[in-house]
Amino acid sequence: ADAELLLQTRGLSVHYGGVTANADIDITVGAGEIVGLIGPNGAGKTTFVDAVTGFAKSSGEVLVSGQRIDRASPHRRRRVGMARTWQAGELFADLTVEQNLAVAVQRVGLRALVTDVLNGSRPAAGVVEKALDVVGLTDVADRRPDELTLGQQKLVGVARALVGDTRLVLLDEPAAGLDTHESLAFGDELRRIAATGVGILLIDHDMSLVLDVCDRLYVLDFGRVIASGTPTEIQDDPAVVAAYLGSA
Ligand code: ATP
């Protein structure tokens, strides 16, 4: 049985002046699936996330749950249940974990809830609580980022993307800076999140994390998909080995 298709791109292309940053990219992410997007520096991974989420001008089609959204604003795309994280995903240092998430709720457009949280009461619909629960951070809701481990801080970044009935998250190097042990624990959390039915597109340079946690992978090189398949298939693919050695 095929999982529900959350994200599909068809012929997605992005040009920056003379540079083809994304060329004809066809990718799918299903519900509950963790799909990796890997490739050497400059391959076009962040550009792909920018294009899908509406932050880069693109041609081709982007469908979320079967609905064309490639002409919609980033804000509208966020409201159809798709969210991203940013490479430098700073948290607000002076706000608690819960308040950081409340800000994210506000940005999705659920303003009434924000007022509740900032006033110290529980938000009516439990949107923040739900996101905290999914990433296992309920116990640290009242702490500030500098009182958390780096791994927990990274999970707050993920939780921020999950608020507001997010079905699909695009994570741009969410584990950057974590050591091997922390990265594995982070991967376990991603699996738990996916098990709730969320689809995850994961960009990361940490190959052990990506190979360990992803169901399927796409490999980009010079803006083009040069290989796709399971982690096992990808590791043995000569084109992939060549792309990585070529950039070393
Ligand atoms: P990294 O792993 O280093 O983050 P990446 O795979 O995410 O790299 P992108 O950042 O998407 O790669 O860059 C793809 C190409 O597009 C590169 O040649 C880059 O220089 C170019 N590029 C990216 N953003 C812009 C921009 N805003 N204007 C012009 N060129 C850009």
Residue 25 has pLDDT above 70, yes or no: yes
CA 88, CA 112: separation in Å to the nearest integer? Answer: 28
Joined together, the tokens standing for residue 240 give 């992939």
- What average pLDDT does this structure show over 67-90? 88
Comparing 29-38, 98-107, 116-125, 162-171, the range with the smallest average pLDDT is 116-125
Comparing 3-7, 45-49, 121-125, the range with the smallest average pLDDT is 121-125
Higher pLDDT, 178 or 246: 178
Question: Contact 210/35 with Cβ under 8 angstroms?
Answer: no
Could you tell me which of 169, 84, 163 has the C-alpha nearest to residue 130? 163
pLDDT tens digits for range 184-204: 999 999 999 999 999 999 999
Residue 41 makes CB contacts below 8 A (sequence gap 6+) with: 247
The ipTM value here is: 0.94
- What average pLDDT does this structure show over 11-26? 96
Q: Which residues of 20-37 are buried (b: 16+ CB within 10 A; e: fewer)?
A: bbbbebebbbbbbbbbbb
Higher pLDDT, 45 or 134: 45
What is the best residue among 19, 20, 57, 171 to mutate for testing ligand 1's pocket, by most ligand atoms within 8 Å of CB?
19
What is the best residue among 13, 16, 204 to mutate for testing ligand 1's pocket, by most ligand atoms within 8 Å of CB?
16
| Strand partners of residue 16 | 19
Higher pLDDT, 245 or 138: 138
Residue 47 has pLDDT above 90, yes or no: yes
Q: Which burial class, exposed, middle or buried, applies to 223 when counting CB atoms under 10 A from its CB (0-12, 13-18, 19+)?
A: buried
pLDDT tens digits for range 123-134: 544 788 888 988
Residue 1 has pLDDT above 50, yes or no: no
Banded model confidence at residue 118, pLDDT cuts 50, 70, 90: low
pTM to 2 decimal places: 0.90
Joined together, the tokens standing for residue 188 give 């376990």
Q: What is the mean pLDDT of the chain?
A: 89
Would you state the pLDDT for residue 224?
Answer: 96
* Cα-to-chain-centroid distance, residue 196: 15
Quick one: how many helices (H) and strands (E) in the chain? 10, 10
Q: How many CB atoms lie within 10 A of CB 107?
A: 16
Q: How far is the CA of 45 from the centre of ligand 1 (A)?
A: 8
